[in-house]
Structure 1
Amino acid sequence: MPSIPLPFVISLFLCLLLVRMIRQGEQKLGLSHLLIAAFAAQAVLSGLNWSVGWHSARFIQPVGAAILPALSFAAFSQLHSNGSSGFKHLLPHLMPAALVALLVAFWRAPIDVVLIAIYLGYGFALLRLARKGPEALSAVRIADEWTAHKALIAMAIMLIATAFIDAIISLDFQFGDGRQAQTVLAISSVLWLAIAGYAATVADRTRPDMQTNVAADDFAAFSPLLAATSTEDDEAIAKRVDSLMLEQNLYRDPDLTLGRLARRSGIPARQISSALNRVYSRNISQIVNEYRVNDAKARLVTTRDPVTTIMLESGFGTKSNFNREFLRVTGMTPTSYRRGGGLISAAAETTSQAGPYPSHKTT
């Protein structure tokens, strides 16, 4: 029975992920889509070279290999910015690939060293972005910051690991027969393409459609308030955010990002994140989810709406996140909370308190 080489299976897997991203996503094609397509194309080249024996692919593979880390950095760096930098932002990062293309054409000897340097450079650059923490991902849904941060770290680690694997393989080709190196190269390249491609897909799902996430009044609110609020203390910032949440019900937006909250409040995102951490001793994701849980608590004891409807109308995007956060805040599941009629009176279930969580009010 004929079998399909593993690289082609990986390419098919990535193509299916890409199709799913395009069909489910509302935003236009962007760097994340291009990144997945590049991973799929590189997997095909790997299969043609190592499984089919089409050695002409060796002239294309190094260029594709140089594009992947640069494209990965450009795509993941967008998570730190609400700006739609798109393909224009990618152009400077194509210079390493252009250099490799010249080396392929005129001087192949240093290609391995250059590729190792490219992967290490972009790998450590992504780690530097990751060191800023999940809350620095201002273009990601607040509820998905940790997921996107893990995908960012996974991509950085894969880039650095690939550089070390390539170095070992290069040494084996120079000082050994290269037989083991070919096997390791084929397997590691396929695994890298699969894991990195999946990480890019996960990160893309955490980024909301910019067209729907950016409202016109967001920008109108930012400039005039920035100067007035940039020197406010932590308590004032917390009260400003609390006022926006309760008066405009921002927490009900499942695509809410820290960047949008910053524009609506007129306060820089990093300042909001730091202030809320100091006031409430919790991260922005937990705080926003507490507003959502308080909203859901009130609905559970005052309405007969289905739990799923309440979940969605309170701002949660997934049932797993809703159940996890509800249990964290109340110590009960939503169903148990409704069955028991709530822990306190229905009048106290509203979100009118001066803070996202009754035990941590601002004073």
Structure 2
Amino acid sequence: MVRQDEGRLGLFPLLVGAFALQATLSGLNWSLGWHPVRLLQPILAAVLPALAFVAFEHLRRSGRPDPTRFWPHLAPAGLVAGLVALRREPIDLVLFAVYLGYGAALLRMGRAGPGALAATRIGDERVAHRALVALGALLVATAFVDAAVSLDLAFGGGRLAGTILTVSGVLWLAAAGYAATAAEGSRPASEPDAIPDAPTSSTSPTAPIEAGMEAGPPEDAAIVTRIDLLMREHHLYRDPDLTLERLARRAGVPARQISAALNRVHGRNVSQVVNEYRVAEARRRLVDTREPVTTVMLESGFGTKSNFNREFLRVTGMSPSAYRRSSGGTSAEAAPAVGTQSPAPTS
């Protein structure tokens, strides 16, 4: 993850590193009996959920992480450090509250849907959203696992504590590490201040925005028309790192308003609408050129083959290769317009 980020230690690589360090400290304590690590374990344990929350919160906005937004979340770790030095009895109760609280906060963030993660690539926001929900659920589950260990130590002599911590620690490290890695992969590596204008081309995909438009507030039509012009005249969909926040900044419209307008007008989310422009471009290239399918995929703005194949099948009902073999069935100009697909579930 650090290598992919060109040597920068972002929040999610830092989170995975903290997971690994905590697992190492747990092994030193429970497997090797090196008890000095007990001074550090509860402090790091209080940092993990706070760091997870800040990392996912950062997926809601672009730019470099602002350290000042993280300092307040160090308060639980500071409280635990004080308890380690003065009185250890309340530590388990404090950690239970910290994990349960941050887990609930992540799940509450997830209720806003994938569209709330405006700094993720369009097309990857669902992956990041699933990772967010998974990590929130893991934090809640960890709160109760730690409570079970505390009860076993208090009333059962600690006979099961080692086994519970070993099993839960391995599962936690694997699941949380995977979730953090998936979320990190959904975020563009670069954070430009502005998206450069692409040259206007006469071969932009056909996408009359009026087709299939449903009734809605007048401002919705204005927003959707603005997005359509940016797509057709400036080809923003060709940017594989396009995010909802970048699109909003370019359109001069808040991200939430764009999501709501596209949902009301087209009955689909931002990712589906943008991918329909990409599919229209891919259909034209498949019919009019001899470019390899992978080249068509990349030039149309798709970043992964799986997303390309899935969205192409959703829009056309066939794979890209089958579409090319059939010569597209119709000309590129006759491709279905954005907004004419049957409504799909929105989020």
Q: How many residues align?
A: 324
Q: 1:155-194 maps to which residues of 2 (within 5 A)? A: 155-194=135-174
1:225 corresponds in structure 2 to: none
Residue 4 of structure 1 is matched in structure 2 by none
Question: How far apart, in 2, do the equivalents of 1:234 and 1:77 lie?
Answer: 27
Match of 1:306 among 267, 292, 298: 292
TM-superposed deviation, 1:360:
7.2
| Shift of residue 143, structure 1, vs aligned partner | 0.6
Higher relative contact order (CA 8 A, sep 6+): 2
Match for 1:319 among 301, 305, 310? 305
The answer to whether the 8 Å contact 2:107/2:133 transfers is: yes
Q: Residue 189 of structure 2 corresponds to which residue in structure 1? A: 209
What secondary structure, in the 3-state scheme, does the structure 1 residue paired with 2:123 have? helix
Q: Is the 8 A contact 1:155 1:196 kept in 2?
A: yes
Alignment of 1:192-341 (within 5 A): 192-212=172-192, 214-215=193-194, 233-341=219-327
Deviation at 1:244, TM superposition (A): 0.5
Q: What is the identity, as a one-letter code, of the residue corresponding to 1:287?
A: V
Q: Per-residue deviation at 1:237? A: 1.2
- Where structure 1 has 5 or more consecutive residues not aligned to the other structure, the ranges are 1-20, 219-230
Tell me, what secondary structure is at the counterpart of 2:160? helix
Match of 2:35 in 1: 55
Task: Show structure 2 runs of 5+ residues with no match.
Answer: 198-216
Equivalent residues of 2:245, 2:255 under 8 A apart: yes
Tell me if the contact between 1:27 and 1:209 (Cα under 8 Å) persists in the aligned partners: no
Please say if 1:126 is aligned against 2:126: no
- CA shift in 2, pair 1:283/1:27, >3 Å: farther
Partners of 1:161 and 1:133 lie apart in 2 by: 22
1:356 aligns with 2:331: no
Superposed displacement of residue 26, structure 1: 4.2
- Spell out, residue by residue over 1:166-204, the C-alpha distance to the aligned partner (whole angstroms, 9 max, x if none): 112211222222201221122212321221122111101
Query: Which one has a larger percent helix, Structure 1 or Structure 2?
Result: 1
Cα contact 2:2–2:10 (8 A) shared by 1: no
Identity of aligned residues (%): 61
Q: Shift in Å at residue 236 of structure 1?
A: 1.6
> Which string of whole-angstrom CA distances, capped at 9 and with x for unpartnered residues, describes residues 83-124 of structure 1?
433433211111110110110111000000000000011001
- The separation in 2 between residues aligned to 1:265 and 1:360, in whole angstroms, is 26
Listed one character per residue, the Cα deviations across residues 32-89 of structure 1 (whole Å, up to 9, x for unaligned) are: 1211111111111011111111111111110110010011111111011124334332
What is the root-mean-square deviation in Å for CA atoms of aligned residues?
1.9
- Alignment CA distance shift 1:57-1:359 (3 Å): closer
Question: 2 CA distance for matches of 1:339 and 1:65?
Answer: 56
Q: Residue 266 of structure 2 contacts residue 339 of structure 2 at CA under 8 Å; is this kept in 1?
A: no
Q: TM-score, with normalisation over the residues of structure 1?
A: 0.85
SS of the equivalent of 1:186 reads helix
Q: Which amino acid aligns with 1:322?
A: F
Does 2:124 align with 1:144? yes
Matched with 2:45 is: 65
Using the alignment, how far apart are the partners of 1:99 and 1:232 within structure 2?
52
Question: Does structure 1 residue 95 correspond to structure 2 residue 105?
Answer: no
Cα shift at 1:359: 4.5
CA distance in 1, matches of 2:116, 2:218: 21
